[in-house]
Chains A and B, each alone.
Chain A
Amino acid sequence: MNATTAMEVNAEARRILAVSISKLYASRTQRGGLRLHRSLLLSMVMRSARDIYHSSREIEGQSDAQPTSEPMETSSDQTVPEPQPELQPAVNAAEPPSEESDSEDEGCDSDIAEDKENMSPTKQSRKRRGKAAAAPDFLPSKRARLEPGEERYAAQLGSCRAGAAESLTALSLNLNRVIPAF
């Protein structure tokens, strides 16, 4: 894969990620509650898109002759020290699942926002300072909070062509929370 194709794949992956995120948030307000099957499929697509995104960035990085100080692992089995821990696959959540976790539901957005605030201090220590410049632009910065208004904005995105970069900057996605909430 050359740099141009990698860029296209990268854009495609970002687009799909944006669409998936808005679907995930929209599914919270669905009647009948969160559907496990649908959430599982969404998280799988997000994981594929994320993996493809990272591997295409790696190729881009290599062909631009900018050495990356560390290889970007794309295997979902490893706990990868990423600039933004929020995109780790649902498989590798640091928190233990709640018992008989079907009683917990992601419907309460303020919970998510709060948890993000609780989580980030511990995760921040793993962040490498040198990586700040190389952080993907569409991933949320540390300071980003999920305001109620911003969530609405993201959910209203009809087409994933509408500025994937802006939409994802506004959101905090925690893939960790997708499945364990059931």
Chain B
Amino acid sequence: MAGPGGDMQWCFSQVKGAIDDDVAEADIISTVEFNHTGELLATGDKGGRVVIFQQEIENKNLPQFRSEYNVYSTFQSHEPEFDYLKSLEIEEKINKIRWLPQKNAAQFLLSTNDKTIKLWKISERDKRPDGYNLKEEDGRYKDPNTITSLRVPVLIPMDLMVEASPRRVFANAHTYHINSISVNSDEETYLSADDLRINLWNLEITDRSFNIVDIKPANMEELTEVITAAEFHPHQCNTFVYSSSKGTIRLCDMRASALCDKQSKLFEEPEDPSNRSFFSEIISSISDVKFSHNGRYMMTRDYLSVKIWDLNMENRPVETYQVHEYLRSKLCSLYENDCIFDKFECCWNGNDSVVMTGSYNNFFRMFDRGQRRDVTLEASRENSKPMQVLKPRKVCAGGKRKKDEISVDSLDFNKKILHTAWHPQDNIIAVATTNNLYIFQDKVN
């Protein structure tokens, strides 16, 4: 695959969601995830709904191949709940969706809100049985005495129906707010992480989970850090990592002990003392951690940068990419308007050569690791003509603003891209603005 700035040309493909500027809070997209083949794309929103799009593959081998994602299934995953004991409302917002690898005709995914994880089965039905002779036409059962022959119903084709049904509900295991779920490579277990604890579940068992990490101090006043994200290693079923609000990542091996409070590796970069400010702690908090597909690296996202870590080197990342360094001098304003608390996610492309993350003003950034190139692109309705090539954007940090550049002060901080996803094999990306989902693809694709 080619680099993002030169050989790759990103084109608009589709946009999903309402056009009007008045955004309904329930429509705010809160998670985006491709399945393992990339054929399905799931989004979760603040209203607790999951929408799954399916790729219609038209002539995939032709050079002008265009992949279209159309709605496949929509269902209400979580409802708002009320915890009467604590007088707390539990939001229905979907925090994360993770697909299970496909084993049979049906698709399975895990979706979670702050407190409860659910396993959903999405299955297709395109035939229905016909020919029962046990019921009248209006549905009432016939008197059995009137039935004199045995008639076996036959399956006849019908319009495709996609059904989503909850198969498991994993509840009551988290005191704090769930921030991550991750399916193990063993395809039997998964982990769920909240601010202070990580639990290990078996996909079949809902009334029990094992606590594998617990960083709650005996005295809550001594609390200095919380867990912000966790993920299983893509191949080693015994290994997982979790990131903290202090900017550290701990790699744990479940073979070492039942409770993995003592990490096997601690990844931490010493802070640059010249960058110290009131907000140093906030901006060093890691908002997302993702293993590379090959399992040799992991990527972390903090407020201003993306870091790539080699799992064999704990004392510093091997690569650091500045996402929007021009915001460093604006941290006080970003604190006032709450933007400094935004949790950006990041993702790898299929062969781990490019990483992507979001920013403000509906900008998103791609960093080509091999070619040492980066590009800033924008997801907007203005650039949404079919196959329109996206023009690289540039932010002017200070001084004289060149033509086509945007100055930092004109950035719209209400337009943020927190969630992005990259197709596991092809150069197709899904980028979520507040309530719209943009799909872009590489022209050469």
A3 CB, min distance to chain B CBs, angstroms: 21
Q: Which residue of B lies closest to A90 (CB)?
A: B221
B279 touches A19 (CB 8 A): no
What is the 8 Å Cβ interface bit string for chain B, positions 186-227, against chain A (1 contact, 0 not)? 000000000110000000000000000000000111111110
A32 pairs with B89, CB closer than 8 A: yes
Please state if A102 and B221 are interface contacts (CB–CB under 8 Å).
Answer: no
Q: Could you say which residues of chain B place their CB within 8 Å of the CB of A19?
A: 335-336
Task: Given A19-B336, A32-B90, A159-B336, verify A37-B221 contact (CB < 8 Å).
Answer: no
A92-121 CB mask vs B (1 if < 8 Å, else 0) is 110001001111010100000000000000
- Report the bound CA distance from A130 to B245 in whole Å: 41
On chain B, which size bracket covers the interface? Answer: 20 to 34
**A36 with B195, Cβ < 8 A, contacts A48-B278, A91-B221, A97-B219 known:** yes
A-B contacts counted at CB < 8 A amount to 88
Query: What residues of chain A lie closer than 8 Å to B160, measured between beta carbons?
Result: none
Shortest C-beta distance, B222 to chain A (Å), equals 6
- Interface contact A32-B114, CB-CB below 8 Å: yes
Given the complex of chains A and B, what is the CA–CA distance between A44 and B86 in angstroms? 26
> Are A91 and B91 in touch, CB under 8 angstroms?
no
Contact A176 B336, CB 8 Å, known A32-B90, A33-B89? no
B220 touching A97, Cβ below 8 Å: yes
Asked whether A40 lies within 8 Å of B221 as measured between CB atoms, the reply is: no
Known: A40-B226, A41-B285, A101-B220. A33 touches B88 (CB 8 A): yes
* Bound CA span A36–B197, Å: 12
A16-B335, A36-B176 given as contacts; is B221 within 8 A of A41 (CB)?
no
Q: CB within 8 A of B336: which of A36, A92, A160?
A: A160
- Which B residues lie within 8 Å of A123 (CB)? none
Please judge, given known A-B contacts A36-B195, A105-B86, whether A91 and B341 are in contact too, CB under 8 Å. no
Instruction: List chain B residues, Cβ under 8 A from A179.
Output: 220-221, 223
**A32 touching B88, Cβ below 8 Å:** yes
Per the 8 Å Cβ criterion, residues 221-248 of B in contact with A are 221-226, 228, 245
B332 at interface, CB cutoff 8 A: yes
How big is chain A's contact interface, by range?
35 or more
**Dominant SS among interface residues on chain A:** helix
Q: Which residue of B lies closest to A107 (CB)?
A: B87
Is A146 engaged at the interface, CB distance under 8 Å to the other chain? no
Instruction: Knowing A16-B335, A32-B177, A36-B226 are in contact, say whether A176-B278 is a contact too (CB < 8 A).
Output: no
Which chain A residues border B220 with CB–CB below 8 Å?
Answer: 97, 101, 179-180, 182
> How close is B221's CB to chain A, nearest CB, in angstroms?
5
* Binary contact readout B138-174 vs A (1 if CB under 8 angstroms, 0 otherwise): 0000000000000000000000000000000000000
Which residues of A are at the interface with B, using a C-beta cutoff of 8 A? 12-13, 16, 19, 23, 31-33, 35-38, 40-41, 44-45, 48-49, 52, 90-93, 97, 100-103, 105, 107, 159-160, 176, 179-180, 182
* A32-B177, A97-B219, A179-B220 given; 7 more Cβ-contact pairs under 8 Å: A41-B245, A41-B341, A45-B282, A48-B281, A100-B175, A105-B88, A160-B336
| Sample (15) of A-B pairs whose CB atoms are under 8 Å apart | A12-B278, A32-B114, A33-B88, A33-B90, A35-B177, A36-B176, A36-B177, A37-B245, A92-B221, A97-B221, A105-B86, A176-B221, A180-B220, A180-B221, A182-B220
